[in-house]
Amino acid sequence: MFGRVRNAYGRFRDARRARSGPGDQGGSQKPSRGGAKRPRNLFEAAAAYVSACAEDDQESIDEAAGWVSPEALSFGVNELACRAVIALARERDESPRTVARELLGLPSA
């Protein structure tokens, strides 16, 4: 029973987001190939947020933080960090734990 309610609510929420106008979360949209606007996804927000943090660009940090909810941004940043550590570990032929500790300046365990 709850599955039906959850699915109905999800369809309602998705339909409402699709109909939202420029005044509703207008900063969270960008033109797509067809010229229509689409919402930013959490990975785009995370990439923009982390890049802006690395460049110390507060305006871009604030913009990217407004694209998705704080929880979604946190998940995206966490996923980006995991993928980056794994990629560096493969490049260096070291364990992800060693790479993560080196990036944070911690002594090896």
- pTM for the whole structure: 0.62
Token pair for residue 78?
Answer: 């966490």
Convert the pLDDT of each residue in 81-96 to its tens digit: 999 999 999 999 999 9
Per the DSSP assignment, residues forming a β-bridge with 31 are: 37
Convert the pLDDT of each residue in 38-81 to its tens digit: 677 899 999 999 999 999 999 999 999 999 999 999 999 999 99
